[in-house]
């Protein structure tokens, strides 16, 4: 019995000493948590999607407070959340345009052909592992919905033609679908961009014509038509540089296969009125030098040069340009 009591006392004494040591250590090595981290985390969407480059919202909140992440680093929260974070940190949040996902392929069940049948795990990744998929186009969408499963905002669905459809109002630009697509045909693009080449094939034009009705044949007409050199041919495929694109829609008009889609409003007519003060902003913004005039005098638009892109209308500060859409 005495041995039992001595054991209990000694063990209790050791535990007390260790507890005291841990208490002293916790105070000695305590790192005070910046209260701003919790404030930032509270206003974040809480999606934990990883689009910011961190494991979750908590990690991002800590990084942004410590200056390791940008104030506008949360693409899901957008400018509203960025402004709130800026207020908490006493910083100005620089504006950044929202990106949304685009599926650069229109080779669905109607437009393409199958070269084999597949029976197995119903995921794009699994199908891709079996000789690149079942379609004759090795670059096209597989249609098994890995992107749908990866989207935390229910912004993607597979339509009746076997292609993903993205709801631009729900899409936050988190990029999870981009990572999930084994074909690499989903891209994040600025929401303001209105011209898109819906093809990712690098096959020769002759081959594309046989396997897809809407595929890019690399004819180069869009390259020749673009007034600002925003389109180039890269290994038989037309590619748009969205930083250069002015959303004029001329490329879509010239595309013989309907691969390029223009979602903006087409300008029917445009003219400079007598309200023009001759500030030259319109002339300087015109990508094809279609506007001329002296400083402080009414400017004119050359109808033969004008491509009706509407940039001059956007730049005019005195509402001296009238524009009519089709």
Please check whether residue 53 lies inside any domain of the structure. yes
Residue count (the chain): 326
- The distance from CA 307 to its chain's CA centroid, rounded to whole angstroms, is 28
Query: Does the pLDDT at position 23 exceed 70?
Result: no
Mean pLDDT to the nearest integer, 304-319: 92
Query: Does the pLDDT at position 18 exceed 80?
Result: no
The fraction of the chain above a pLDDT of 90, given in percent, is: 62
Query: Does the pLDDT at position 157 exceed 90?
Result: yes
Clarify whether residues 159 and 101 are in a common domain: yes
Say if residues 292 and 312 touch (Cβ distance below 8 Å): no
For 86, the enclosing helix (H) or strand (E) is helix 78-89
Query: Does the pLDDT at position 320 exceed 80?
Result: yes
Higher-pLDDT residue of 4 and 139 is: 139
Mean pLDDT to the nearest integer, 155-172: 95
pLDDT at 79: 83
- Closest among 130, 128, 174 to 154, alpha carbons compared: 174
Mean residue pLDDT of the chain comes to 89
Q: How far apart, in whole angstroms, are the C-alpha atoms of residue 228 and residue 303?
A: 18
pLDDT at 106: 94
Query: Which structural domain range is residue 175 located in?
Result: 97-192
Its pTM stands at 0.76
CATH number, domain with residue 304: 3.30.70.20
Mean pLDDT to the nearest integer, 207-231: 95
Clarify whether residues 121 and 179 are in a common domain: yes
Please check whether residue 257 lies inside any domain of the structure. yes
Clarify whether residues 167 and 187 are in a common domain: yes
Neighbouring C-beta atoms of residue 132, cutoff 10 Å? 15
pLDDT in tens, 66-124: 888 888 888 888 888 888 988 988 887 766 788 999 999 999 999 998 888 888 999 99
Picking from 231, 264, 297, the residue at the C-terminal end of a domain is 264
């Amino acid at each position: 019995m005495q041995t039992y009591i001595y054991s209990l006392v000694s063990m209790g004494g050791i535990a007390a000493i260790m507890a005291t040591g841990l208490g002293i250590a916790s105070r000695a090595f305590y790192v005070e948590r910046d209260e701003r981290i919790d404030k930032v985390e509270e206003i974040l969407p809480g999606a934990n999607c990883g689009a910011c480059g961190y494991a979750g919202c908590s990690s991002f909140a800590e990084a942004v407070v410590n200056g390791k992440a940008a104030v506008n680093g949360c693409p899901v929260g957008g400018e509203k959340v960025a402004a709130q974070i800026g207020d908490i940190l006493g910083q100005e949040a620089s504006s950044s345009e929202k990106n949304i996902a685009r599926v650069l392929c229109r080779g669905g069940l109607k437009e393409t052909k199958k070269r084999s049948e597949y029976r197995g795990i119903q995921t794009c990744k699994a199908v891709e592992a079996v000789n690149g998929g079942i379609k004759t186009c090795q670059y096209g969408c597989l249609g098994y919905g890995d992107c749908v499963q990866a989207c935390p905002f229910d912004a993607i669905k597979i339509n009746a033609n076997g292609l993903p459809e993205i709801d631009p109002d729900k899409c936050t630009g988190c990029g999870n679908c981009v990572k999930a697509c084994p074909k690499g045909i989903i891209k994040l693009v600025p929401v303001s961009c209105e011209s898109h080449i819906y093809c990712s094939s690098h096959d020769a034009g002759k081959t594309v014509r046989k396997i897809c009705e809407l595929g890019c044949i690399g004819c180069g007409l869009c390259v020749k038509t673009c007034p600002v050199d925003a389109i180039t041919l890269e290994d038989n495929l037309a590619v748009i540089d969205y930083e250069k694109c002015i959303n004029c829609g001329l490329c879509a008009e010239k595309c013989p296969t309907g691969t390029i889609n223009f979602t903006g409003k087409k300008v029917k007519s445009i003219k400079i009125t007598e309200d023009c003060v001759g500030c030259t902003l319109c002339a300087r913004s015109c990508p094809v030098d279609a506007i001329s005039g002296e400083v402080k005098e009414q400017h004119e638009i050359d109808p033969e040069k004008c491509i009706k892109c509407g940039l001059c209308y956007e730049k005019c500060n005195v509402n001296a340009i009238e524009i009519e859409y089709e």
